[in-house]
Chains A and B, each alone.
Chain A
Amino acid sequence: GENVEQHPSTLSVQEGDSAVIKCTYSDSASNYFPWYKQELGKGPQLIIDIRSNVGEKKDQRIAVTLNKTAKHFSLHITETQPEDSAVYFCAASTNSGGSNYKLTFGKGTLLTVNP
């Protein structure tokens, strides 16, 4: 089955700096890669996703890049703010029966943005 590795497990940055979280996956058939943010005491929430036919996607201060050849994808957060502090999970999924319902998650990265 799919295996997703996520690094680093913890990341501390100063407010205004950039943060990068990296993930690798093992199944070359994976074609959908979402990122979830989990704030303290809450469930994870999708913040951005990318499909394998796209190399990069951006949404305001958040961007995701995908390298299919190397089987890795990354989350980039620019101009970090204290409210970006959370646990971030990457995930990978293959298309099964016409949808990407089965997500394999990385172990998570605890991001702390220091004011």
Chain B
Amino acid sequence: DAKTTQPNSMESNEEEPVHLPCNHSTISGTDYIHWYRQLPSQGPEYVIHGLTSNVNNRMASLAIAEDRKSSTLILHRATLRDAAVYYCILRDDPGGGADGLTFGKGTHLITQP
């Protein structure tokens, strides 16, 4: 899996948008960008993934740079329940389910009331 770089931690205020960046300058043309998050003392959960176009779902939005060397996970209104470690992972299969995932250190999101 190609390497990704994320800030160690970020802080946000409740009810405000949060932009979590991820750099992946060595991404290949067939790599999908996946985001997972891990709430405290729980297993990770899938958030969103995309290839080239921006993606939206009920949890978040994914903005992908035109050159695909970076992406941003957007939580439109952060809540205290969004406090978690967010992982950006590159995979060459669309769903990410074919092989085990390689987790980096991720970004620890701290939300303040």
A-B complex is real: no
